[in-house]
Amino acid sequence: MSTPPALDGVIVLDLASVGPAARCSRILADYGARVVKVGPPPRKSGVQVEPHYHAYSGSRWMQRARIDLKAPAGKAALLRLVEKADVVIESLRPGTAKRLGLGYDDLRAVNAGIICCSTSGYGQDGPMSSWAGHDINYLAVGGFLHTSNRRADGGPPLPGATVADSAAGGMHAALAIMAALLRRAKTGEGEYLDVSVTEGVLSLMALNVDQHLATGADPGPGHDILTGRYACYDTYEASDGKWLAVGAIEPHFYANLCKAIGCEDWLAQQLDDEAQDDIRAAFRAAFSKRTRDEWVADLAPNDTCVAPVYTIAEVAADPHLQGRGAFCEATHPENPNFRQLAPVLAGMKQPDGPVDALVATETDTEELLREAGLSAQEIEKLRADGVVA
């Protein structure tokens, strides 16, 4: 008999459409939770961003309810769903859920065991709590941008991924929710989780922040081995214009690298600050003599900590990642079948064939409200009044 998914039986109501909260519910669904995406009816859809059909893995393994939470009857309908739920995730501006009558106290009045997770950029209180923001803002306030190597004009770079939304926000929220579920299993009590994406960035920046707090150092670009101080941890261009990532931190890996690319003269100067410009020049000259993939074939298997800098298209075509099951097939009735990232975190539920992407116009509202105990007449009135769809 197959082992059930880790979160099998857990019911999650996600009131967000994009951002960290949506990242969180994606993670929970891939661990087996029953996730219900709650959004406004189509006539009010302009107030909520509707992601592309393929975004957030096409909302695979999720359900959708369309409820107008600003209407008293809509709020009452949601609270009926809360009665049977385990988790509610929201990403409204701090204080908004409470003003709508959907704050934690309102939720636990109908379900004492509910876990309510609020995700926001800067937290539910404090001087910054009302600030609007996006990924780049939270990375800026958390120190991530400052410690990254500078652009040609001297400014902080624009990250190539939404690190704050995905890791500092989504994974942060999912981890907090899983811990709360474990705690509730012992105490029987729900709780409120105030997930600040910026504080999640701080957790990612712990090495630098802790160094400053303990020693007074002010880490930045080129401060240490991980931020560009030494040539052994850097990127280099090959003869075909493609790039290699070199992470030869340990002395034996560095020695292997120097010998393999003909730079033995620099074996003793790995951490000599005065020699770094010369080492980089030697490495650049060496790597410029062959293509990226030629270097990777010779270096990567031989303890040098060298890897190719892939484009996203190359990521999707990589045989190692394909062999590990990193991608799966998806179907969508309004678009051609497509590939998508499979559940890749350890212990996640795995698809046993093509997965179905959720259609934006499709809803499970009636089924969910019936399960919550509403009669057919009550549901029909809500629909006729435009409160649900």
CA distance 274 to 276: 6
Residues serving a catalytic function are: 134, 165
Strand 34-39 vs strand 62-66: parallel, antiparallel, or unpaired?
parallel
Q: For residues 329 and 337, is the Cβ–Cβ distance under 8 A?
A: yes
Strand order in the sheet with 243-247: 233-237, 243-247, 306-308
Query: Which SS3 state, helix, strand or coil, does residue 327 take?
Result: strand
Comparing CA positions, the residue from 91, 82, 79, 28 lying closest to residue 57 is: 28
**Whole-number Å distance between alpha carbons of 82 and 79:** 5
3-state secondary structure of 354: coil
Distances (CA, A) of 232 to 2, 11, 44, 154, 208: 46, 48, 55, 22, 20
**What are the residues whose beta carbons fall under 8 Å from the beta carbon of 63, sequence distance 6 or more?**
34, 35, 36, 37, 364, 367, 368
**Phi, psi values for residue 212, rounded to 5°:** -65, -45
- Of how many residues is the chain composed? 389
For residue 11, what are its two tokens?
A: 């019911």
Structural element, H or E, at residue 34: strand 34-39
